[in-house]
Amino acid sequence: MTPQGWLQILVLLLAVALLTKPMGAYMARVFEGKPVWIDRALGPVERFLYRVSGIDPDREMGWKKYALCMLAFNFAGFLLLYLIQRIQGVFPSGPSGLSAVRPDLAFNTAVSFVTNTNWQAYGGETTMKYVTQMIGMGVQNFLSAATGIAVAIALIRGFGRKTTGKLGNFWVDMTRATLYILLPISIVVAILLLSQGVVQTFHDTQSANLVQATTNANGATVTSQSLSVGPAASQIAIKQVGTNGGGFFNANSSHPFENPTPFSNFIEIFAILIIPAGLTYTFGRMVRSTRQGWTIFVVMMIILVGMIVAAYAFEARGVPQEAAAGANIQAVTSGVTAQPGGNMEGKETRFGIGLSAEWAVVTTGTSCGAVNSMHDSYTPLGGMIPLTMIHLGEVVFGGVGSGLYGILVFAVIAVFIAGLMVGRTPEYLGKKIEMYEMKMASLIILIPVVEILFGTAVALSTKTGTSSIPNPGPHGLTEVLYAFSSGSGNNGSAFAGLNANTTFYNIGLGLIMLIGRYWMMLPTLAIAGSLAKKKLVPVTAGTLHTDGPLFVGVLIAVIIIVAALSFFPALALGPIVEQLMM
C-alpha cells in the first residue's frame, strides 16, 4: 500500500462526490420534462422520434403497461441481436474470416447485452465482426442502460406521487435517457479516450515489429506481430457510461488498446460511477427531499470505501508462498528498485495494486463488469471482495438505474424491520409500507439468492458443469459461484479460469441473466405502482426519520446481514477455506 495508490483512490472519490449534485440535478430536469441546455440540439430529434413512432409523450402509463412495453422492447432487441450474430458472416467489414456465431453462444450473448449483463463467453477480436459489435452490442449498450434508468425513474415517481396509478411513459423515459444522458456523456468520454490512444478504426489488423525476434512452433524466425484493432473507443465509452462492461477485446480494460494510460483508467472508472451516483441526488430532487438522496449516497459511499480499503489491503499483503520463496513483496516507492509490492499477478504495471483493487470493487458494486485486472489471480480474500459486492445486490453504487432501485428496496425492508421493532406501521417518504410492498421486496431479495446457489449446485454436481473447471478444490468452487453470481446480478465480469463457452454454461447462464434482470424489474415496478396510489401519511413523533445517521446505520446493517446470511456458507467453502489453506 503506497501513498500514491491512496491518492489516486481519493481523487476519484472526491471527483464523484463533487459532481453528484450537478449530474443529479441535470437528470432530474430531464425526467421532469424541464428545459435543459442541450434542448436546442436534441429537442427536434426527440419530437421526430415520437412522431414517426406514433408515441404520445403526454400519455402516461400504469405499472403493468409500463412493464409490458419494457418487456416487449427488450424482447425485440434480443431477437435482433441474436439474428445479427447468426448472419454476421455476410457482413463485409472486418475482421475477415469470421463466420456466424454458434446458436448457444449467440443466445447467451444476446441475452447478456439486452439485460445489461455483458457476460462474454467469447473473445471479441476473434469472434465478432465490427458490424456485430457496433450495430448489435453497441446499440444494446445504450438501450439496456436506458431501460435500467427508466425503471429507476418510475420507482422514484412511485414514491413522489400520490393517489395516482401513473408512473410516466416508458417510451419517453427511454428516449430521454438515451438522447439527453447516455449519448452526450458517451461522446465526451469517447473523445477523451481517443486522446489517450484508444483505437478507433475499421482496419482489420495492424502489423508491428517485435523488439526482439522469436521463433514459432515450426522453428521459423518471427520478427513482426499482427495486432487486432477496430472501432473500440466508441463502444468502450458506452460500456463504461452505461455500466455495461462488455469489452471490445477479450482482455477488456486491461488491454492497452482499450485502456492505455492511468488517465484513461481514471476516465473509465469515473464514467462507471457518475450516473449511478448522480441518480441518488435525482431521487432526492424528484421526491422533494434532497436529504433523502444524500442519505442513500452516504450509505453507498461508506460501503464502497470500506470494500476498497479491504481489497487493497488483501492484495498489498501479497501471497505468503512468494515471500517464503524469497521474493520481495514489500512496496518500494522510489529509486531504481521501485515496485508496487504485494500480489501483482494478473494486474497491469501501469495501474498497480491500488487502481486495480479500486476498479475491482467499483465494477462489481455497480454491476458494470468491466475489468482492468483478472480477479482469478487475486488472493483468496482479495477475490472475495468483488464477489461480495455482487452478493450485496450491486447497490454500491449499482448499475445505471438498477443500483438505485435495488437500494430503495433495501430501504423499504429496513423501515419495515424498524417498524416491527417499535410496534408501528412502517413508513418511507410518507408512504405506508404494507404487505404487498413487502411481498414484492422479498421476491426481489430472495430470487437472486435461490438462482445463484441453485445454479452453482447444479454445475458442481454434474459432469457437464465440472468439466469446465481447470482448478480443482475451493478455487474452482469460487469460479463457478462467481459466474452464476455475475450472471444473476447482471454484472458480467468473470473470475476467469472457468471455460464458460459450452452449451451448458451458455444456456444456463443465459437463463440466469434473464431471471436476474426481469425478476428485479417487474416487482420493482409493482412496488412503484402500489406506492403511487397511496396517500401521504403525516409525520408524527413516532415516525422513523430516514434522512439521518440512524437510518444510514440501519440500512447498511440490513444490506450486509442479508448478504451474509445468504452467501456466507458458500463463501466459507470457497475463498475463505482457500485462504486458510495458504
Cα 573 versus chain centre, distance: 26
Q: How does strand 205-215 pair with strand 427-428?
A: unpaired
pLDDT at site 334:
65
As to burial, measured by CB atoms within 10 angstroms (0-12 exposed, 13-18 middle, 19+ buried), residue 549 is exposed
- Which residue shows C-alpha cell 446480478? 489
CA distance linking residue 245 with residue 240, whole number of Å: 6
Helices assigned H by DSSP within 423-533: 435-461, 463-466, 474-488, 503-532
Query: Is 261 part of a structural domain of the chain?
Result: yes
CA distance linking residue 466 with residue 469, whole number of Å: 5
DSSP 332: B
Q: How does strand 427-428 pair with strand 221-228?
A: unpaired
Query: Is 521 part of a structural domain of the chain?
Result: no
- Which residue shows C-alpha cell 420493482? 524
pLDDT in tens, the chain (582 residues): 677 778 888 999 999 999 999 999 999 999 999 999 999 999 999 999 999 999 999 999 999 999 999 999 999 999 999 999 999 988 887 787 788 999 999 999 999 999 999 999 998 888 999 999 999 999 999 999 999 999 999 999 999 988 888 999 999 999 999 999 999 999 999 999 999 999 998 888 888 898 888 888 888 898 888 888 889 999 999 999 999 988 898 889 999 999 999 999 999 999 999 999 999 999 999 999 999 999 999 999 999 999 999 999 999 888 887 777 777 777 666 665 566 778 888 898 888 898 999 999 999 999 898 999 999 999 999 999 999 999 998 899 988 988 898 999 999 999 998 888 877 778 888 889 889 999 999 999 999 999 999 999 999 999 999 999 988 889 999 999 999 999 999 998 888 788 989 999 999 999 999 999 998 899 999 999 999 999 888 877 777 888 889 999 999 999 999 888 899 999 999 999 999 887
Question: Which CA distances in Å does 218 have to 211, 226, 260, 375, 519?
Answer: 20, 18, 33, 34, 54
Helix pair 139-160, 103-114: axis angle to 10 deg: 40
Strand blocks (E) in 298-411: none
DSSP 212: E
Query: Is 486 part of a structural domain of the chain?
Result: no
Using DSSP, state whether 221 is helix, strand or coil: strand
Query: Is 193 part of a structural domain of the chain?
Result: yes
Query: Is 423 part of a structural domain of the chain?
Result: no
Residue span of the structural domain in which 187 resides: 19-206+227-290
CA distance linking residue 73 with residue 143, whole number of Å: 9
The backbone region for 33, taken as left when phi is positive above 0, alpha when psi lies in -120 to 50, beta otherwise, is: left
Do 249 and 259 form a contact (C-beta atoms < 8 A)?
no
Render the burial of 86-121: b for 16+ CB within 10 Å, e for the rest. Answer: eebeeeebbbeebeebbebbbbbbbbbbbbbbbbbb
Query: Is 238 part of a structural domain of the chain?
Result: yes
CA distance linking residue 116 with residue 492, whole number of Å: 8
CA distance linking residue 517 with residue 522, whole number of Å: 9
- Which residue shows C-alpha cell 512468494? 322
Specify the number of domains making up the chain: 1
Query: Is 378 part of a structural domain of the chain?
Result: no
Q: pTM higher than 0.85, yes or no?
A: yes
> Which has the closest alpha carbon to 286: 24, 19, 18, 20?
24
> Which has the closest alpha carbon to 151: 553, 472, 519?
519
Cα 3 versus chain centre, distance: 28
pLDDT at site 80:
96
Do 121 and 486 form a contact (C-beta atoms < 8 A)?
no
Query: Is 357 part of a structural domain of the chain?
Result: no
